[in-house]
Structure 1
Amino acid sequence: MLVDSHCHLDFEALAADLDNVMARAAAVGVTGMVTISTLVDNFSTYAAIAERFPNVWCSVGTHPHNADKELHIQTDDLVRLSAHPRCIAIGEAGLDYFYDNAPREAQAIGLRRHIAAARITGLPLVIHSRAADEDMANILEEESRRGAFPFVLHCFTAGRDLADRALALGGYISFSGIVTFKNAQEIQDVAKVVPADRYIVETDAPYLAPIPHRGQSNEPSFVRHTAEKVAELRGISLEQLGRETTANFGRLFSKSGIQ
């Protein structure tokens, strides 16, 4: 039993074939998935997908690439929309200094608004962080002093320092197909040591397909390959990893009802 904690079912590569995508996921034991918001203005699309499939949930949030496009979105808007019964998370929001597709100030403003929404609702914040480790850790620590909030560092691509600082704040870490890549030693090292009650797995589909599908369009069924690699790194069976990550998902995304 596995849960794909982060995918984008509204993206064209998946949206055009959703019924078959779901069937392929079920065939390999993927029993749930979260389709993640990148634009709050498109929330109705994510909600409709989650309403259509009983094992799909959604989030509400603005990807850092789009931060300057949604500066009109306030914390109250996120809180209001998150009340939808199929919405179980805030985000994804965060900092991306690798692409810098939006001004860094806009990214930080958006991130702090999303943190406030997570704090108010108790829903987990799905965090995107790339090439911004120090600023991300500093914001998380500063905001945590104002009041705790649940969060997960999705598609973890950083080193041990950010992992340790996030874990110290009660955060979770999610591993994607990148952990299967040969040049991902730093991420693999983190995957070995994250506490058993603080990690989950994801695809970030349709991006970042794991080996042996690297270069192809990713989909939720491929989360099994990521899970197999993380289990190998941790020296446990796939079945144990499935139990641990599903329990962790249910604890973090408690509105899903997964135990």
Structure 2
Amino acid sequence: MNNIMVGQDSCLVPLVPRLVLKFFIDFDGTITTQDVGDALFIKFGGEQCRDIVQEYYDEKISAVECFHKETTACGVVTIAELNDFLDAQTIDESFVGFVQYCKANGFELYILSDGMDYYIHRILNRYGVGDVPVYANILTLQSTDTPLNPLSRGDSSDKKLSRVRLVPSFPYTDEVCTRCASCKRNHMLNLSSDETIIAYIGEGYSDRCPVKFADVIFAKDELLKYCRREEIPHAEYSTFSDIIKYVDKMIHKNGRTKLRLKKRRLAELARREVFAGG
């Protein structure tokens, strides 16, 4: 693993800003190199899962309904095959250095995902960053004696294999919005205060909502296109190394340490509107 080692000048200088910078980070496709959730459901649920997701994009079903349909399509799998699949997933390895950078500078960071906690925790633990707080949907592996899904490569006659169904649950839904099963906006606002500069890092569809409430936005892929189209101020990035460089420039200048990032006016107004209405 090629961890980024941040130098003493940028890591160990204590920051005492009036405002506090917090990072809120998407998982699938942002920390990982592909959308693990999509890949998992297609592997175990087959091509019908693509049609289910399209129903969701077409706003025919909610995010919760989408996940229920996808997990049902997966049927019964073995824990071994599921974990083997997850253990083959990779991340942007500069994320490990980014976590170190945030800890050294006293920046809080949180992972906000509309994916499933089971695979998120397994992948993070494998890379040694399992202590980063995660807010996501819950995936329970429910034991069963039912025959395996035909797409599974396990031997149905082998009773030693632990067979499970994938059972999702959703503790973080929003009462009004059904586009995400785990409301990133609510997590972000609940974990922030008036003194917080909210930085959001993402790349996809489920990141569109939270960026409207963020002061600093790091975007790539589909989120980058969305921000450009909606004229939302943002910084383009490819890896977490880019974000480290960007933030470092904002807090270290001419040998002085100062947080130069500012609140975004429209984001502040959007946050106030949520609290005023709720």
Give the structure, 1 or 2, with the largest relative contact order (CA under 8 Å, sep 6 or more): 2
What is the TM-score with the length of structure 1 in the denominator? Answer: 0.32
Larger gyration radius, structure 1 or structure 2: 2
What is the TM-score with the length of structure 2 in the denominator? Answer: 0.30
